Amino acid sequence: MDEKKSADLKARLKFFLTHPLVIIGVILIVCTAFGIVYLRQVQTQQGLSSEIALANVLLQQTSTEQLTEELEQVQAHLDEVQGSFLSESEVREVDIIDAVYEGALETGVQVASIQTAGVTSEKVGGSTYKILQFKVLVKGTLAQVLNFISALDSESEGLETLILSKASISQSGETCSSTVEFGIYMRSE
**Cβ proximity of 23 and 16 under 8 Å:** yes
Q: Specify if 64 maps to a domain.
A: no
Q: What is the pLDDT of residues 45-97, one digit of tens each?
A: 888 888 888 888 877 777 777 778 888 888 887 777 666 666 666 667 888 88
Number of CB atoms found within 10 A of residue 178's CB? 22
Instruction: Quote the pLDDT of residue 116.
Output: 86
Q: Are residues 52 and 92 in the same domain?
A: no
Full domain range(s) for residue 18: 2-57
Number of CB atoms found within 10 A of residue 186's CB? 20
Q: What is the pLDDT of residues 125-135, one digit of tens each?
A: 777 788 888 89
Q: Are residues 108 and 20 in the same domain?
A: no
Across 137-150, b (16+ Cβ under 10 Å) vs e yields ebbbeeebbbbbbe
Q: Are residues 26 and 108 in the same domain?
A: no
Distances (CA, A) of 98 to 20, 94, 123, 130: 79, 6, 28, 20
The DSSP letter of residue 113 is: E
Q: Are residues 176 and 105 in the same domain?
A: yes
Helix (H) or strand (E) holding 161: none
Q: Are residues 98 and 173 in the same domain?
A: yes
Distances (CA, A) of 160 to 5, 44, 147, 181, 187: 71, 41, 17, 16, 13
How many domains would you assign to the chain? 2
Give, to the nearest 10 degrees, the angle between helix 2-18 and helix 20-61: 80
Q: Are residues 50 and 97 in the same domain?
A: no
Q: Are residues 121 and 176 in the same domain?
A: yes
- CATH number of the CATH domain containing 139: 3.30.70.60
Instruction: Quote the pLDDT of residue 136.
Output: 92
Q: Are residues 129 and 180 in the same domain?
A: yes
